[in-house]
């Protein structure tokens, strides 16, 4: 029961459960209440930020009473940094909430999970990330230069996260050396609203199984500072892994995303190589690669298992990125056809197949919704691993027309997953089993794998 305070601006509620993506749920005067960054069992004080007919949205002000299972967060940045959201929960509790949230989405959409196989956790709960994109900025207006993550619940502040615990020591060293180097140089960070400044982002990728490290400094062209001086600093650091690449990406676009308008190689080669399940993968600076390497091995093993017998079958790997899933199943399959939007990733997929001595893989660059029409092969199995927005309705129409016996759907967004599954079920597919795989400990996200067969 909530407690009325002042002019109804602040109320106290007890959180009853969470809904994906881990939003705390309570009730107040018969209205449903949503509060981000809260967990079941907590009593909280929140300020009403949205009031609608059937619900209220609160902004968390204070946790008045902790939940009994809460623990001390490992990272000193936790709570201020906008990255992790649940380091204060035991890992078992994180997995329990993730599983419940995904199952509830299926139930609410009246979509069966088939046999629900539970949640598979990540081997590593810390130091698991193989890629981070850090932003240059300041913690407060006029403060010293910072490099790291956006601050929680703030649109502007940047926090230097040189103690971040979801990356390893090599990442932390690069952050610290980079921010220290540029603090001295008095170069302005890029201000999105003013469209002015030089320093934008720092992208770090590390292949966890090979130890190869890529450092990519992203700036505008508004200053002719010699970035080779920066490369020298990074080259002189001692790493646990091996520094393989230093790149300088020029990005004058107005968007806050990293857009590689021009990429200059400052040291080494412009890619790193990772080993996954006995195969080698070339990862170029901007292509998609699962951000938790050990998690990816486990996820792809689940996919392989869900596919059952791929012996002599034609497999479509739609939204294939650098062709990881397709190549993992290729040794048994008759043929693999992969489709991916990013040309650079497709080039890497082709090279990867050569690297791995696989001659039965074809990778095509293009939008799945458009390209799939022109594919002549007939698939026995279709793997779908779309971005968060799910499978485009046009693409789903073609997927259904192919009439494949089996579909394995891998999703990083269970909300769009259930919408797409509904369409597949309406068109003659049956959901056999579902498993949730945590790839992103300490965050509300996870992957869901579903096996469907044609009835």
Ligand X SMILES: C[S@@+](CC[C@H](N)C(=O)[O-])C[C@H]1O[C@@H](n2cnc3c(N)ncnc32)[C@H](O)[C@@H]1O
Instruction: Write out the binding residues for ligand X, residues 385-404 only, by CB under 6 A.
Output: 385-387
Q: Which stretch binds ligand X (CB under 6 A): 60-68, 99-107, 258-266, 338-346?
A: 338-346
Say whether the peptide bond before residue 127 is cis (omega within 30 degrees of 0). no
Question: Of 187 and 341, which has the nearer Cβ to ligand X?
Answer: 341
Residue given tokens 């010293």 in the structure block: 144
Q: Which of 367, 373, 403, 428 binds ligand X (CB under 6 A)?
A: 367
Do the beta carbons of residue 168 and residue 235 sit within 8 Å? no
Q: Show the site string, 294-333: x = touches ligand X by CB under 6 A, - = not.
A: -------------------------xxx--xx--------
Instruction: Write out the binding residues for ligand X, residues 396-455 only, by CB under 6 A.
Output: 412
d(CA 306, CA 308): 5
148 is an interface residue for ligand X by CB under 6 A: no
Q: Which stretch binds ligand X (CB under 6 A): 118-126, 140-148, 162-170, 341-349?
A: 341-349
d(CA 168, CA 450): 32
341 is an interface residue for ligand X by CB under 6 A: yes
The sign one gets for the Cα dihedral 239, 241, 244, 247 is negative
CB of 342 to ligand X, least distance (A): 4
CB burial of residue 363 (10 Å; 0-12, 13-18, 19+):
buried
Helix, coil or strand: residue 33: strand
CB of 122 to ligand X, least distance (A): 16
Q: Show the site string, 241-280: x = touches ligand X by CB under 6 A, - = not.
A: ----------------------------------------
Residues 6+ apart with CB under 8 A from 153: 59, 82
Instruction: Look at residues 256, 164, 171 and name the one whose alpha carbon lies nearest to residue 215.
Output: 171
CB of 383 to ligand X, least distance (A): 8
- Say what the alpha-carbon torsion angle 222, 225, 226, 228 is, to the nearest 10 degrees: -80
CB of 329 to ligand X, least distance (A): 12
Question: Of 78 and 440, which has the nearer Cβ to ligand X?
Answer: 440
Is 412 an annotated catalytic residue? yes
Q: For binding to ligand X (CB under 6 A), which residues are involved?
A: 288-290, 319-321, 324-325, 339-342, 345, 367-368, 385-387, 412
């Amino acid at each position: 029961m909530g407690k009325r305070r002042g002019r109804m601006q602040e109320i106290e509620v007890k959180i009853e459960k969470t809904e994906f993506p881990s939003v705390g749920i309570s009730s107040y005067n018969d209205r449903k209440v949503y509060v981000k960054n809260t967990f079941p069992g907590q009593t909280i004080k929140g300020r009403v930020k949205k009031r609608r007919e059937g619900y209220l949205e609160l902004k968390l002000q204070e946790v008045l009473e902790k939940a009994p299972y809460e623990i001390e967060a490992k990272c000193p940045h936790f709570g201020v940094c906008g990255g992790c959201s649940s380091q204060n929960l035991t890992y078992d509790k994180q997995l329990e909430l993730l599983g419940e949230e995904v199952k509830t989405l299926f139930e609410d959409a009246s979509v069966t999970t088939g046999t629900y196989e539970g949640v598979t956790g990540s081997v590593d709960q810390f130091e698991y990330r193989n890629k981070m994109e850090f932003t240059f900025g300041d913690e407060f207006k006029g403060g010293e230069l910072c490099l790291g993550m956006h601050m929680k619940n703030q649109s502007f502040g940047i926090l230097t996260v040189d103690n971040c615990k979801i990356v390893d020591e090599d990442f932390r060293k690069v952050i610290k050396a980079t921010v220290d180097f540029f603090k001295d140089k008095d170069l302005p960070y890029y201000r999105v609203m003013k469209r002015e400044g030089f320093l934008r982002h720092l992208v770090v990728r590390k292949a966890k199984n090979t130890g190869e490290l890529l450092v990519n400094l992203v700036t505008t062209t508004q200053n002719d500072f010699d970035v080779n001086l920066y490369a020298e600093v990074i080259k002189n650091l001692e790493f646990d892994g091996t520094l393989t690449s230093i790149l300088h990406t020029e990005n004058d676009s107005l968007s806050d995303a990293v857009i590689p308008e021009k990429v200059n190689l400052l040291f080494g080669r412009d890619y790193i190589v990772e080993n996954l399940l006995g195969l080698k993968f070339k990862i170029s600076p901007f292509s998609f690669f699962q951000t938790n390497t050990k998690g990816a091995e486990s996820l792809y093993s689940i996919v392989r298992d869900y596919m059952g017998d791929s012996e002599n079958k034609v497999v479509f790997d739609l939204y294939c990125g650098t062709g990881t899933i397709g190549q993992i199943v290729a040794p048994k399959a008759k043929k693999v056809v992969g489709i991916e939007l990013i040309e650079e990733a497709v080039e890497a997929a082709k090279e990867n197949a050569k690297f791995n001595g696989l001659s039965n893989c074809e990778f095509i660059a293009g939008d799945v919704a458009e390209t799939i029409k022109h594919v002549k092969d007939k698939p026995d199995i279709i793997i779908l691993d779309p971005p968060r927005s799910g499978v485009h309705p046009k693409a789903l129409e073609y997927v259904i027309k192919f009439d494949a016996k089996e579909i394995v759907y891998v999703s990083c967004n269970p909300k769009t997953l259930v919408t797409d599954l509904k369409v597949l079920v309406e068109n003659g597919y049956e959901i056999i089993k579902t498993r949730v795989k945590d790839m992103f400990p300490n965050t509300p996200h996870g992957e869901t794998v579903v096996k469907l067969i044609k009835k």
